[in-house]
Chain A
Amino acid sequence: AQKVTQAQTEISVVEKEDVTLDCVYETRDTTYYLFWYKQPPSGELVFLIRRNSFDEQNEISGRYSWNFQKSTSSFNFTITASQVVDSAVYFCALSEGNTGNQFYFGTGTSLTVIP
Chain B
Amino acid sequence: ETGVTQTPRHLVMGMTNKKSLKCEQHLGHNAMYWYKQSAKKPLELMFVYSLEERVENNSVPSRFSPECPNSSHLFLHLHTLQPEDSALYLCASSQEGASGPVSYEQYFGPGTRLTVT
**B92-104 contact mask (Cβ, 8 Å, vs A): 1 or 0:** 1010110001111
**A34-47 contact mask (Cβ, 8 Å, vs B): 1 or 0:** 01010000111111
A-side contacts of B111, CB under 8 Å: 43-44
Smallest distance from the beta carbon of B75 to chain A beta carbons, Å?
19
Q: How many residues of A contact B (CB 8 A)?
A: 29
B-side contacts of A71, CB under 8 Å: none
Q: Within residues 8 to 65 of chain A, which ones have a CB less than 8 A from any CB in chain B?
A: 31-33, 35, 37, 42-47, 50
Q: B-side interface residues toward A, CB under 8 Å? A: 31, 33, 40-43, 45, 48, 50, 55, 88, 90, 92, 94, 96-97, 101-111, 113
Contact check, A102 vs B45: say whether CB atoms are below 8 A apart.
yes
B-side contacts of A43, CB under 8 Å: 88, 90, 110-111, 113
B-side contacts of A108, CB under 8 Å: 42
CA of A4 to CA of B106 in the docked complex: distance in angstroms? 17
* Contact flag A107-B42 (CB < 8 Å), given A100-B103, A101-B31: yes
A31, A45, A101, A107: the one contacting B96 at CB < 8 Å is: A101
Closest partner residue, chain A, to B107 (CB atom): A47
Contact check, A47 vs B103: say whether CB atoms are below 8 A apart.
no
CA of A98 to CA of B40 in the docked complex: distance in angstroms? 28
What are 11 A-B contacts with C-beta separation under 8 Å?
A: A4-B42, A43-B90, A43-B113, A45-B90, A98-B101, A99-B101, A100-B101, A105-B43, A106-B42, A107-B40, A107-B41
